Amino acid sequence: MKILSIGYGNFLSANRVVSVLSPDSAPIRRVIADARERGLLIDASFGRSTKSAVLMDSNHLILSALSAEELSAQLSDI
């Protein structure tokens, strides 16, 4: 199993990641709001500003304080 570090001692299974998104656009903010309403949002940013959103194959959305570029670089190294 390959592991992806999303910061502050939090890890994800890299095999289950569908996409890494930047939360700056309005459509992604709507996806975040929808995931929050459905109870599928996990905020792993520890109160810091959200710099990326990771969509999982289970439809969960995980917010991270690491940038999308940092996470995608980790994924390409795996």
Distance, in Å, from the CA atom of 26 to the CA atom of 70, rounded to the nearest integer, reads 22
Report, as an integer, the average pLDDT of 46-71.
Answer: 97
- Prediction pTM value: 0.93
Residue 58: both structure tokens together:
């289970």
Q: What are the tens digits of pLDDT across the range 20-35?
A: 999 999 999 999 999 9
Q: How confident is the model at residue 77 (pLDDT cuts 50, 70, 90)?
A: confident
Neighbours of 53 (CB within 10 A): 23
